[in-house]
């Protein structure tokens, strides 16, 4: 816990946390990619404020502390970049997932044609997906992000998702369109 010093000129004085809290904090920080002193100082300042407040509901205070821990030290979900076109009518989320699974389970790319209608108004709807990079570590998560954020969430025809960290480069895209 961090408290202000009595003089105010000496900065902050650190009061040790109980062992259980330290072990939980260590466990959480082991699973993060980035950890800065600013985040730690911010957490301890906020932890002190939360601890000092008088609360009639101790459960809320505890859950607030753990929510704060998760927000500061938890892993983040990377946002997909959505394409501007709307999703073609007739293509389903299951069809998008089918094409994404083909990329994740086998090759670097997949293209599936879904036929609709009959002559003279025959149209075909296509979903294409692709992976490029030096490691396919986040395939399912990447396509899940694109499909949930772009196709399902914003009714767009697809999007892309990129990961560049510590020498690992991955780029995934999926897109549905209509052609005649």
The residue ranges of every structural domain in the chain are: 2-73, 81-179
b/e code 34-51 from CB counts within 10 Å (16+ = b): eeeeeeeeebbebbbebe
Nearest alpha carbon to residue 164 among 131, 129, 130, 135: 135
Confidence at 32, pLDDT banded by 50, 70, 90: very low
Architecture per CATH, 81-179:
2-Layer Sandwich (3.30)
Tens of pLDDT along 90-148?
899 999 999 999 999 988 999 998 877 667 677 889 999 999 999 999 999 999 999 99
- What pLDDT is attached to residue 77? 53
93 contacts: CB under 8 Å, gap ≥ 6 = 147, 151, 152
- Bigger pLDDT: 32 vs 16: 16
pLDDT above 70 for 153: yes
Q: How far apart are CA 162 and CA 138, in angstroms?
A: 10
Say how many C-beta atoms besides its own lie within 10 A of residue 91's C-beta: 21
For position 117, what pLDDT does the model report?
66
Q: What is the pLDDT of residue 115?
A: 74
Which of 10-14, 78-82, 97-101 is predicted least confidently? 10-14
Q: What is the pLDDT of residue 78?
A: 74
Predicted local confidence at residue 7, as pLDDT: 41
Distance from C-alpha of 174 to C-alpha of 158, rounded to nearest angstrom: 5
């Amino acid at each position: 816990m961090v408290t202000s010093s009595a003089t105010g000129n000496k900065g902050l004085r650190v009061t040790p946390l109980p062992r259980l809290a330290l072990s939980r904090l260590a466990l959480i920080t082991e699973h993060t990619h980035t950890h800065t002193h600013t985040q730690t100082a911010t957490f301890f300042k906020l932890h002190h404020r939360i601890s000092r407040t008088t609360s009639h509901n101790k459960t809320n205070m505890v859950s607030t502390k753990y929510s704060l821990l998760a927000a500061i030290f938890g892993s983040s979900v990377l946002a997909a970049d959505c394409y501007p076109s709307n999703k073609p009518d007739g293509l389903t989320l299951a069809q998008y997932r089918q094409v994404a699974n083909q990329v994740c389970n086998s090759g670097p790319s997949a293209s599936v044609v879904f036929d609709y209608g009959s002559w003279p108004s025959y149209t075909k709807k296509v979903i294409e997906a692709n992976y490029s990079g030096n490691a396919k570590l986040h395939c399912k998560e990447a396509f899940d992000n694109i499909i949930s954020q772009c196709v399902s969430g914003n009714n767009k025809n697809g999007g892309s998702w990129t990961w560049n960290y510590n020498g690992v480069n991955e780029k995934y895209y999926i897109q549905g369109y209509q052609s005649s």
